[in-house]
Amino acid sequence: MKKKVLVTRAMFDETLAYLAQHFDITSNQADEKYPPDELGARLQGMDAAVITSTDRVDEALLSRCPGLKAVCSASVGYNHVDVAACTRRGVMVTNTPGVLTDSVADYAVCLTLATCRRLTEAESMLRRGEWKGTHLKELLGMDLHHATVGIFGFGRIGQVIARRLTGFEPRILYCTRNRVARDIERDLKATFVGKDELLRQSDIVILILPYTRETHHFIGARELGLMKRKAVLINMARGGIVDDAALIEALKARRIWAAGLDVYENEPNLNPGLLAVANVVLSPHIASASEPTRQAMAMAAARNCVAALTTGNPPNLLNRDVLRQDA
């Protein structure tokens, strides 16, 4: 008898066809988010789930699904999964690192430019029919070229963002838990600094660090107060890393110049204060949303699922302690 897998959100046809070669598949092609109770009910009798970042997997859910062996997320971030609870219950957890690096780095540059050059403000003015012709002081923005750019988080994606920025000839500062190798610093012309120094010196601050208990509200009122008044904040990481309420107050008071956000606290529920300030560019968590990249993410999650239920050792396993439990 084939093992059973629940696919919790709409997936690409090729991904479903691949999974169907190995398992009995139940797929949510209607793409309606399952509330926690319904997700728990639908996972009854399932051996694995292919999920996305909108699905919360925690102790309460796992207690209802004793037969679950693997949770395979089509995402790099995994703060929506209680990995420790999964480990205690012998459930493998996987993610999809690597496949979205280039697309997210591309979008980081896109969002930075859109914010610095006030693109959404300009388009809105045009659509409202308010453009009366160009004059010297209209919609003045900030330059990316030759700016000091500070990057919080300097792993795979942070380093590629730095490389993408090379053509703008910036000064690159970075801050991360573990300093990178000196040859990487030389190659990217990047300088390691502390958190406060990065905030004080940077014209543009880009966040691409993971969301953890330690990074909750990593940027709050204190940090915003350290930034230059002409500084731009870009959040490419996760909602919760920035205290959105504090950011709104800083934007309203022009304590910083502008912000570009792709992620939010409590998303998809947006703090309404963000809609009331003009000096912020908003996008709905789409940094990885190119068609080839999202297809690659889905297939990586599917391959993890197949490996988990066949070999018991998927390539992107996050909780390797599970393997030691079975040893």
* pLDDT tens, residue by residue, 250-283: 999 999 999 999 999 999 999 999 999 999 999 9
Residue 32 CA to residue 55 CA, distance in Å, equals 11
Residue 45 tokens read as 């009798």
Query: Tokens representing 101?
Result: 């690096």
Give CA–CA dist 134/140, Å, rounded. 11
Residue 158 and residue 275 in one domain? yes
Q: Average of pLDDT values for 171-200?
A: 98
How many structural domains compose the chain? 2
Tokens linked to 85: 């609870």
Q: What is the pLDDT of residue 326?
A: 57
pLDDT at 1 exceeding the cut of 90: no
SS3 of 283, please? coil
Distance CA 155, CA 68 (A): 32
49 and 156 housed in the same domain: no
Domain shared by 34 and 110, yes or no: no
Residue 268: asked if its preceding bond is cis (omega within 30°), the reply is: yes
pLDDT of 314 reads 97
Q: Are residues 58 and 156 in the same domain?
A: no
- Residue-range definition of the domain harbouring residue 313: 4-97+291-326
* CATH at 68: 3.40.50.720
Residues 74 and 139 in one domain: no
- Quote the percentage of the chain above a pLDDT of 70: 99
Q: Are residues 116 and 236 in the same domain?
A: yes
Please, are residues 111 and 285 in contact by the beta-carbon 8 Å criterion?
no
Q: Are 227 and 115 contained in the same domain? A: yes
Q: Summarize the confidence of residues 109-129 as an average pLDDT.
A: 97
The residue ranges of DSSP E strands in 11-130, in sequence order, are: 24-27, 48-51, 70-73, 92-94
Q: Which sequence positions are flagged as catalytic?
A: 238, 267, 285
- Looking at residue 11, its amino acid is M
Whether 257 contacts 232, CB under 8 Å: yes
The model's pTM = 0.92
- Per the DSSP assignment, residues forming a β-bridge with 219 are 242
Q: Do residues 161 and 192 both lie within one domain?
A: yes
Q: Are residues 135 and 111 in the same domain?
A: yes
The H or E element spanning position 121 is: helix 119-127
Q: Quick one: average pLDDT of 177-203?
A: 98
Average pLDDT score over residue span 296-310: 98
d(CA 132, CA 4): 61
Q: How many residues does the chain have?
A: 327
- Residue for token pair 């970075």: 174
Same domain, 50 and 117: no
